[in-house]
A = this chain, B = another copy of it.
Amino acid sequence: MTSSVPDRPPAPAGSPRDRLLAATVEHVARHGLADLSLRALADAIGTSHRMLIYHFGSKEGLLAEVVAAVEAGQREILAGLAASDEPAPVAVRRFWRGLTDPAVREHERLFFEIVALAIQGRPGTERLRETLVEPWVEVVAADGVRRGLPPDVARAQARLGMAVTRGLLLDLLATDDLEGVDAAMELFLAAFVPE
């Protein structure tokens, strides 16, 4: 391969750095970050490991950006939830429908892998850890209060909803039984959001 023609046509988008990060996230979502090596990663996404070091400084730097990307995704979802007028259960249902896409599930799997690191207190996951529960509970609890619940009940309920969502998501990832998990979710929604 003399790489004769420049052929920039398929160049995805963004800076080369962004492209590398996106490809890394995708690869890691599929293969996990447990025994990731820069070389194997580079081969898989079509670069040299030199490039990864060049653009991200170190493996640790790259991983930190992956964590940051996942965290940013979380915050984006949260922001959408906080901004919209729709009641929480509607938002949950929309999120839930998205999980029919296997690619989405892969990303959620990565999310859990990173959460496992975060609850271990690994350096670099501090911010993620802060994003994990509090802000969600706050937003959803505010929604509950707006609908007339006492603040403490709204808080506990929000926290419960968060747990249900994550617990059932974990279930879904383990069993791949979308229907069964969906039934459980509907049961919860019916019991706690009587509208």
Q: A residues within 8 Å of B by Cβ?
A: 32, 34, 109, 112-113, 115-120, 122, 129, 132-134, 152-153, 155-157, 159-160, 162-168, 170-171, 173-175, 180-181, 183-188, 191-192
Chain B min CB distance to A192 (Å): 7
A116 B116 Cβ-Cβ under 8 A: yes
Assembly CA distance A132 to B171 (angstroms): 8
Given contact pairs A157-B187, A159-B168, A163-B170, enumerate 15 new A-B contacts (beta carbons under 8 Å): A34-B34, A34-B117, A113-B120, A115-B174, A129-B174, A155-B183, A156-B183, A157-B184, A160-B168, A160-B184, A163-B163, A164-B167, A166-B166, A167-B167, A167-B170
Chain B min CB distance to A160 (Å): 4
B112 A175 Cβ-Cβ under 8 A: no
Q: Which residues of B contact A120 (CB under 8 A)?
A: 32, 34, 109, 113
B175 A115 Cβ-Cβ under 8 A: no
Assembly CA distance A152 to B113 (angstroms): 32
Q: Which residues of B contact A109 (CB under 8 A)?
A: 119-120
B191 A163 Cβ-Cβ under 8 A: no
15 contacts between A and B (CB under 8 A): A32-B120, A32-B122, A109-B119, A109-B120, A112-B115, A115-B170, A129-B174, A132-B174, A133-B171, A133-B175, A153-B187, A159-B180, A163-B171, A165-B167, A166-B167
Q: Which residues of B contact A163 (CB under 8 A)?
A: 163-164, 166-168, 170-171, 181, 184
Assembly CA distance A4 to B34 (angstroms): 42
Q: Which residues of B contact A152 (CB under 8 A)?
A: 183
Assembly CA distance A122 to B165 (angstroms): 24
A116 B119 Cβ-Cβ under 8 A: no
